Structure 1
Amino acid sequence: MGCITWQRVALRTADFLISAVVVLFLLTAGAYSAYALWDNNQVYAAVDNVQDELLQFKPAADGENGASFEELLAINSDVKAWLTLDNTAIDYPVVQGENNFSYINTDVYGDFALAGSIFLDSDCDGSFHDPYSLLYGHHMENSKMFGDLDLYKDEAFFNENTTGTLVLPDRTYHLQIFACLLVPASEDAIFDVNQWDANLNGLLDFAQENALHLHSDTLDTVRAREGAQVLAMSTCSTEFTDARTILLAWMTTPEQ
Structure 2
Amino acid sequence: MEKRNDIPYGPQGDPAAFSRDGRFDGSDFSTDASYDAHLVPSDTLDGLDAPYYPDACAPDAQASGGAPDAQAYARARYGAAVKGAKRKRAAKRSPLWTAVSVLAALVLVVCLGILAVIGYGYWHGTKVYDDIAQQAFPEKQLDALAASTIDWDALLAQNPDTVGWIYMPGTSIDYPIVQGETDEEYLKKDFAGNTGGLVHKGAIFLSSGNDSSMADQNNVIYGHNMNDDTMFAHILQMADQQAFDAARTFYVFTPTRNYRCTTYALDVVDATQTSLLQFSFADQSALNAYMTSRVEESVPTAPLDIDLNGVSKLFTLITCGDDYASTRAVLFGAVVESAVPENAPAA
Query: Does the pair score TM above 0.5?
Result: yes
Offset of residue 160 of structure 1: 2.6
Q: How does 1:71-150 map to 2 (within 5 A)?
A: 71-112=154-195, 114-150=200-236
Q: Distance in 1 between matches of 2:160 and 2:192?
A: 10
Question: What is the identity, as a one-letter code, of the residue corresponding to 1:38?
Answer: A
- Find out whether 1:225 has 2:331 as its counterpart: no
Decide whether the 8 Å contact of 1:104 with 1:116 is kept in 2.
yes
Q: Mark the runs of 5 or more structure 2 residues left unpaired by the alignment.
A: 1-89, 340-347
* 1:1-256 matched pairs, under 5 angstroms: 16-55=94-133, 56-58=135-137, 62-64=145-147, 67-112=150-195, 114-190=200-276, 192-194=277-279, 196-198=280-282, 199-201=286-288, 203-218=290-305, 221-222=307-308, 224-225=309-310, 228-239=312-323, 242-254=326-338
The separation in 2 between residues aligned to 1:52 and 1:176, in whole angstroms, is 25
Q: Which residue pairs with 1:3 in the alignment?
A: none
- SS of structure 1 residue aligned to 2:113: helix
Superposition deviation, residue 17 in structure 1: 4.3
Q: Structure 1: how far apart are the matches of 2:148 and 2:297?
A: 40
SS in 2 for 1:213: coil
Structure exhibiting the larger radius of gyration computed from Cα positions: 2
Which consecutive residues of structure 1, in runs of 5 or more, have no partner in the other structure? 1-11
Cα root mean square deviation, aligned: 2.6
* Bigger RCO of structures 1 and 2 (CA < 8 A, at least 6 apart): 1
Contact 1:158 1:213 in 2 (8 A): yes
Tell whether the 8 Å contact from 2:172 to 2:229 is kept in structure 1 after alignment. Answer: yes
Runs of 4+ off more than 6 Å:
none
Provide the TM-score with structure 1 as the length reference: 0.83
Counterpart residue identity of residue 225, structure 1: G
Distance (Å, rounded) in 2 between the aligned partners of 1:77 and 1:251: 26
- Length-normalised TM-score, structure 2: 0.62
One-letter amino acid of the counterpart of residue 256, structure 2: D
Instruction: State the AA in 2 paired with 1:57.
Output: A
Tell me which residue corresponds to 1:8.
none
Task: For 2:257 and 2:307, locate their aligned partners in 1 and report how far apart those are by CA, in whole Å.
Answer: 22
Whether the 8 Å contact between 2:224 and 2:319 is mirrored in structure 1 is yes
Q: Are residues 135 and 65 of structure 1, via their aligned partners in 2, closer, same or farther at CA, if it must alter by over 3 Å?
A: closer
Q: Alpha-carbon deviation of 1:66?
A: 5.0
Distance in 2 of aligned mates of 1:183 and 1:18:
52
Rounded Cα–Cα distance in structure 1 between residues aligned with 2:313 and 2:290: 11
**Residue 94 (structure 1) shift:** 0.4
CA–CA distance in 2 between the matches of 1:32 and 1:230? 48
Report which stretch shifted further, 95-104 or 28-37: 28-37
Q: Is the 8 A contact 2:241 2:301 kept in 1?
A: no
Distance 1:21 1:251, change over 3 A: farther
State the Cα distance separating 1:131 from its structure 2 match.
Answer: 1.2
For 1:54 and 1:152, how far apart are their aligned partners in 2? Answer: 26
Q: In 1, Cα distance between the equivalents of 2:100 and 2:243?
A: 48
